């Protein structure tokens, strides 16, 4: 069967500043929470590889753009590092960072690759984290100033902006489940973080539109569909709806509809953990919704009614309202431990079409992390990652189906372009179209999937 995608479909990949750029003498970058956490507890990071040792894009961006072009990219998303551009989070702008991002943007454009730029990808400047990070209302103002600075510096050429990548992750990782610094388990703080991220996003959108720049601004959300163990069991269905409310709708509803889900507000009122909502906040959120929605999809969430006892030791948690369901016979990526469920991408796109006004959207991340990819190196030194080609193909078929049914999906960006540093996992699992040898000065080699992707982009689809 032939799968043809709409004209001008965005074919490319996504990455982030903190996961790719690295740190170099004289680059002027300030400390962020990842730099600090690595200094504090390097043993928490796989093979003790820290954010200073990422893929060296800061010095290799010209080579990287040529490789992107070689594998068929017409678009590419990355992020500006707040701590690189404004080292203390507020105050002086780092001219070396301005020069770097200007050169990077110009290089992409000169090679026919449209830059998509995200403003926040988990990399809170340390000076702001020391004052509470996203729990502190002042961070919202600092972020808006940072966003405006980016729009002023780069908005003449960058026409696709995003306020946050996966804003639920700092909520979960930093304030509920201990996989991001500061590793707190305090739901009241988690709610404040989520509220301030939503408010910051709306205020940045407001600023962007007030500046009358001729681009668009959105948000990138990891939408993980929640499936009940038994669709005919009302308690399972309700539990899945609660998980969806906490982890998807907490950002999707305000971003697209301009309001928080009623079910979420009911819970945080019952728990007496409503954040401070100042006069005018809700109007700003209501009136500054996104132009464009990026959707990250990796895996589904399987849910059942709460059966295990609630642990009161750390106060309330989202999972007081549901249990995770370990579905038998699921297809698994054994390296990441994540279920592979291709239809999930279709279900998300259908939900966005049916319940969110069919907003213009695109798949902003989807990918497969595999450990030990050197096992698949052929005699020519190329990694034959057929499993990645199969993964992307199977997801693209469902993206195609959603588009055929009317979903306003404009593109597909795989995570990621070249292998990059993944937080505490560092380089354990590789995701790229291009391999990076971190022991050999970051040497790049296109994988089989990269060459395959070029044919997909050139043909605007594939035959299967």
Q: What are phi and psi of 221, to 5 degrees?
A: -120, 135
- Cα(87)–Cα(28) distance, rounded to whole angstroms? 7
SS3 per-residue string spanning 181-247? CCCCCCHHHHHHHHHHHHHHHHHHHHHHHHCCCCCEEEEEEECCCEEECCCCCHHHHHHHHHHHHHH
Asked if 365 is an active-site residue, the reply is yes
What is the number of other CB atoms lying within 10 angstroms of the CB of residue 286? 13
Q: Are 176 and 259 in contact (CB under 8 A)?
A: no
Closest CA to 430 of 29, 49, 24, 34: 49
Q: Which of 365, 374, 379, 458 is catalytic?
A: 365
Q: Which two tokens stand for residue 151?
A: 């729009």
Whether the CB-CB separation of 123 and 32 falls below 8 Å is answered with yes
- Is the distance from CB of 121 to CB of 169 less than 8 angstroms? no
* Whole-number Å distance between alpha carbons of 170 and 360: 25
Distance (Å, whole) CA 450 – CA 197: 35
Q: Does a cis peptide bond (omega within 30 degrees of 0) precede residue 182? A: yes
- As a whole number of angstroms, the distance between CA 331 and CA 214 comes to 44
Report the alpha-carbon distance of residue 166 to residue 60 in Å, rounded: 26
User: Tokens at residue 387, please?
Assistant: 């499993």
CA distance 176 to 185: 4
Calpha distance 241→235 (Å, rounded): 10
Secondary structure of 351-402 in HEC code, one letter for each residue: HHHHHCCCCCEEEEECCCCEECHHHHECCCCCECCHHHHHHHHHHHHHHHHH
Tokens for 422?
Answer: 């993944």
Instruction: Write down the number of H helices and E strands in the chain.
Output: 16, 19
Task: Point out the residues that are catalytic.
Answer: 365
């Amino acid at each position: 069967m032939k799968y043809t995608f709409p004209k001008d479909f965005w074919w490319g990949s996504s990455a982030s500043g903190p996961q790719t750029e690295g740190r170099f003498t004289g680059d002027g970058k300030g400390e962020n929470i990842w730099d600090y956490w690595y200094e504090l507890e390097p043993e928490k990071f796989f093979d003790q590889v820290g954010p200073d040792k990422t893929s060296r894009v800061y010095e290799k961006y010209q080579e990287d753009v040529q490789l992107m072009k070689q594998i068929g990219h017409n678009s590419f998303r990355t992020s500006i590092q707040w701590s690189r551009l404004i080292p203390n989070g507020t105050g002086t702008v780092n001219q070396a960072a301005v020069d770097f991002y200007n050169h990077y943007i110009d290089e992409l454009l000169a090679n026919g690759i449209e830059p998509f730029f995200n403003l926040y990808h988990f990399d809170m400047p340390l000076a702001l984290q020391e004052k509470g990070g996203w729990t502190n209302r002042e961070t919202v103002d600092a972020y808006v100033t940072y966003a405006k600075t980016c729009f002023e510096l780069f908005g003449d050429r960058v026409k696709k902006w995003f306020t946050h990548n996966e804003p639920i992750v700092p909520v979960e990782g930093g304030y509920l489940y201990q996989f991001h610094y500061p590793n707190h388990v305090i739901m009241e703080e988690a709610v404040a973080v989520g509220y301030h991220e939503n408010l910051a996003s709306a205020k940045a959108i407001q600023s962007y539109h007030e500046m009358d720049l001729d681009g668009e601004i959105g948000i990138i959300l990891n939408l993980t569909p929640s499936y009940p163990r038994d669709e005919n069991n009302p308690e399972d269905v309700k539990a899945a709806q609660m998980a969806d409310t906490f982890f998807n709708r907490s950002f999707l509803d305000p971003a697209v509809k301009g309001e928080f889900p009623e079910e979420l507000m009911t819970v945080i009122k019952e728990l007496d953990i409503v954040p401070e909502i100042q006069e005018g906040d809700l109007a700003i959120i209501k009136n500054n919704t996104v132009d464009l929605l990026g959707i990250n999809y990796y895996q589904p969430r399987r849910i059942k009614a709460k059966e295990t006892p609630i642990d009161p030791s750390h106060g309330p948690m989202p999972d007081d309202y549901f249990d995770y369901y370990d579905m038998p016979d699921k297809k698994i990526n054994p390296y990441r431990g994540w279920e592979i469920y291709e239809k999930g991408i279709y279900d998300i796109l259908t939900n966005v079409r049916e319940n969110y006004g069919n907003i213009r959207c695109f798949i902003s991340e989807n990918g497969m992390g595999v450990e030990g990819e050197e096992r698949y190196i052929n005699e020519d030194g190329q990694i034959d990652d057929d499993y990645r080609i199969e993964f992307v193909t199977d997801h693209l078929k469902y993206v195609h189906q959603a588009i055929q049914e009317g979903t306003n999906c404009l593109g597909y960006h795989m995570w990621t372009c070249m292998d990059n540093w993944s937080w505490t996992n560092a380089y354990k699992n590789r995701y790229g179209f291009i391999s990076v040898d971190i022991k050999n000065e970051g040497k790049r080699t296109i994988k089989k999937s990269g060459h395959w992707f070029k044919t997909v982009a050139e043909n605007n689809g594939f035959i299967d």
